[in-house]
Amino acid sequence: MHIGEGDEVGFAVYDDGTVTVRDFVSIPADEAWFWTTEWRAGEVQAAAHIAARRTTFHRSAEDMVAHLDSLGGGRCSPSG
């Protein structure tokens, strides 16, 4: 079953005496955002862009901000 010390498991006990053991994965509250449907969809989209080489590389944060500014849509800055 590949269960080790510290692993969490779930059990289901049925009326006929059958016991089913299942893996149980807990997600820390401060990491729950990563597992939302919206975030996972964004991860898939980002992976597709990376695979298709639709990315840019910037040597500094300033270069990245200048690039984003050149795309339009308002000022991009860390302070808002």
Q: Largest Cα–Cα distance in the chain?
A: 68
CA distance 12 to 14: 6
- Identity at 37, one-letter amino acid code: T
- Residue 78 is predicted with a pLDDT of 56
Phi and psi for 22 in degrees, rounded to 5?
Answer: -130, 155
What are the residue boundaries of the structural domains of the chain, listed by start? 29-75
Q: Please give the chain's pLDDT, 80 residues, in tens.
A: 677 777 778 888 999 999 998 777 777 889 889 989 999 999 999 999 999 999 999 999 999 999 988 988 766 655 54
26-29 contacts, C-beta under 8 A, 24 or more apart: none
Per-residue burial over 2-34, b if 16 or more Cβ lie within 10 Å, else e, is eeeeeeeeeeeeeeeeeeeeeeeeeeeeeeeee
